[in-house]
Chain A
Amino acid sequence: MVEFWRWKEYRWTAPDADWKNAGIISCGIDVGSVSSQAVIMTDGNLYAYSNMRTGSNSPDSARRALDWALEGTGLKQENMHFIVGTGYGRINIPFANKAITEIACHARGANFMYGPTVRTVLDMGGQDCKAIRCDEKGKVTAFLMNDKCAAGTGRGMEVFADLLQVHIEEVGDLSFKVDKEPPPVSSTCVVFAKSEASALLRKGVPKNEVLAAYCSAMAHRIFSLLERLGVEKDFGITGGISKNRGVVDRLTKELGITSLTPRYDPQVAGGVGAALFAKSLVEKQRAGQVAR
């Protein structure tokens, strides 16, 4: 069985915030195919979050992520005014009040993470790749998502890391330890690219060069997806592969623009967006009640 990204699960609570003073406590839960995050926000500020591996079923993964985010805060699920579920498992979160697509949540979350100047967000996940353009309010103006093909996703990279017996986190650095940049692997398909790489290895091409060839193929593939959408500054990159500079550096070089540094952990962008949607929904509800 292919291994997951070998990352540590973690949680976080804002060091100097107290939820007891908050008017709206909103929550977003992002159940992805590889990882799940629960994000709690107080009046639109990040209060606590958790990031865990997705288990075999969505309801459980959502529950565990939420429980862990709540841990030590004194908060309970009942204290949440609204919970929005997102991600691939969003329709399977029984305790969520509403489900919103990950595209909309990511855009909104990126607006929070990077500030309102962000116009293009690329999310490179374990099993998909999303490109989103948004306006200054974090509303989606265009999007594209590729979750059919493993090429250009974390999974494609894992297959290569496995083949070359390299730790997934080292791929990026190793791919730059080459005398000269090799031509990119020519097959897009991961299956065929793998045969191509095996042939290169057998010819005696050093491992790092093969890694470099794959990283640049992947960068180019993502570049061509972004081209379809058009890239406008500012530009932000989120998701597992955003940590792989072998791909990111080559991509930003090809694009000719740099990517923004997020103010918070970009892994939870989707969850943050969901929590912000939840907050707006509470506001809407309350406004409705006042009007009535």
Chain B
Amino acid sequence: MKANYGYKDGSGEFFITIDTDKCNSCGDCAKVCPPKVIVMITNDYDEVVPAVAEEHRKKIKYDCAPCKPVSGPRNLPCVAACKPVAIVHSW
């Protein structure tokens, strides 16, 4: 399943896409996410997969901001930690 968490508002599109079919349930992404935007859940089909925590879903543009400085190197911890490349950010 491709789970798109986030939103599109007037200012742009901010989605974190988690491909649960690629995910191996290791939980590394959740471990490295400083503000705990990413957490591990058991989804409706009983798979243990990462998801964007409910309380962050409407503001990931802001909550992920510290990982995304305007200039300088960009190395998102969640994306870097995921060996099977199951996490993609749209912005």
Contact = CB atoms under 8 A, between A and B. Distances in A.
B85 to A, nearest CB: 17
Given A104-B44, A148-B57, A148-B58, A143 B3 contact: yes
B8 A224 contact: yes
A56 B5 CA distance: 27
Interface string A136-165: 000111111111110110000000000000
A189 B9 contact: yes
A102 to B, nearest CB: 10
A104 B45 contact: yes
A101 interface: yes
Contacts of B69: none
A101 B44 contact: yes
Interface residues of A, number: 27
B54 to A, nearest CB: 10
Nearest to B54: A91
B57 to A, nearest CB: 7
Contacts of B59: 148
Give the interface residue-count category, chain B.
Answer: 10 to 19
Contact of A228 (B1, B10, B13): B13
A100 interface: yes
B2 interface: yes
Among B1, B58, B90, the most chain A Cβ lie within 10 Å of the Cβ of B1
Nearest to A91: B54
Contacts of A147: 7, 57-58
B25 interface: no
Interface of A: 100-101, 103-104, 139-149, 151-152, 187-189, 192, 221, 224-225, 228-229, 277
The 8 closest A-B CB pairs, nearest first, are A189-B10, A148-B7, A149-B9, A104-B44, A142-B2, A144-B4, A148-B58, A188-B10
Given A104-B43, A143-B4, A277-B44, 11 more contacts: A104-B44, A141-B2, A142-B3, A142-B4, A144-B15, A148-B7, A149-B8, A149-B9, A225-B8, A229-B2, A229-B4
